[in-house]
Structures are given as structure tokens and as C-alpha cells.
Amino acid sequence: MDASAQGRELREVGISLSKLWWLWLGFGFLWIVIALVILQFDQASVTTVGVLIGAMFLISGVQQLGLAAMVGGVARWVLAFFGVLLVIAGIISLISPENTFAGIADILGFLFLIVGIFWIIQAFGERGMNELWWFGLISGVAMVVLAFWTGGQFFIDKVYVLLVFAGIWALFHGINDIFRAFQIRALGKAVEAMPPPAV
């Protein structure tokens, strides 16, 4: 395939993907609603926290699988792989919420650290095409700080720490998705305004 054919194909993919910008907006608002619901809990049982975490895994997995269906190439398989893993984790979490809580409470600091590092890397990776990359960077740094703070907590306190984490994670996820929705929309308009590659 020559360069002009590749350019036309990329342009068509960009335009078709940008028409679905509202999906990111919808997921963003869904994540913010989930965050508000979670942060309303003033006390919760171990089972409740396990069920909430399982539901979040499922929603995130479905979102990744939906994104995988929209893109092509290696990105499709990477998104699909992580989507399947998240769905499996969600199902297992809902089958045994108490064990989910115990397992996640034991490795909570490590999870925060992994999420924080991923968000920081993602922010720097998007820096050239996303004006609001700094929000992902701030979110990642906040997660790294939470990782070190959580490492010193006792098990009883971790019920509330997990609830707060789930709420903060859902809130950051929602805001990032809303930002991405408008970035994808703007990118689509820019691609449509560009002249098509020469044949």
C-alpha cells in the first residue's frame, strides 16, 4: 500500500472515529455519576465494596471492548485483551465480593502505584495531541501519593480507603473521558478540514 492510500485510510478512520465522540462523553458522565454514588457511602460493608469494585471492573471492561471494536491494528487487540481481563475480573469479583475486598485491600498501595504510573505515562504520551494532558499527569501523581499513603493503613481503615479510591478513580476516569470526547471531536473537525491526500 502506498503512502497516499495509507493517508486516505487514516483520514477515513479518523473521521469515522470522531463521529463517535459522544460515546466518550456518555462514558465520562456515567463514571462521574458512579463516583458521586460511591462517595455518598458513609459506611459500607466489605461485601458492598467488593460488589462496587466488581461493577467498576465490568463497566471498564465493556468500555475497553467497545473501543477495541472501533479501532484497528495492534491497538484493537491490546484493548480487547485488557477488556476481556477486566470483564473476567468483574465477574470473579461479583461471584466472591468478600475475597475481592480482602485481595485488593492487601495490594491496595501497589494498585494505586500501577494506576498512577500508567496515568503519568499516558499523559506524556498524549502531550503532543491533547491540550489537557496535564490533567492526566496530575491524576497520576495524586495516585502515586495515595499509593504511599495507603501502604501505612490498617486493614479496618481500608474499607473506607477502598471506597474513596473507587470514587476518586471513577471521578478522574469520567473527567478524562469528557476531555477526550471534546479532543476527539476537535481532531475530527481538523481532519475533515484538511484536503484529502493526492491520488
Phi first, then psi: give them for residue 198, nearest 5 degrees: -65, 145
Mind listing the pLDDT tens digit for each residue in 17-43? 777 788 888 888 988 988 888 777 766
Higher local confidence (pLDDT), 190 or 91:
91
Rg (CA), the chain: 19
Arithmetic mean of pLDDT, 165-182: 83
Phi first, then psi: give them for residue 128, nearest 5 degrees: -75, -20
Mind listing the pLDDT tens digit for each residue in 58-68? 888 888 888 78
Domain ranges of the chain: 13-51+66-71+96-193
What the block records as the C-alpha cell of 12 is 477515513
Q: For 11-15, 137-141, 145-149, 177-181, which range has the lowest pLDDT when averaged over its residues?
A: 11-15
Arithmetic mean of pLDDT, 63-89: 82
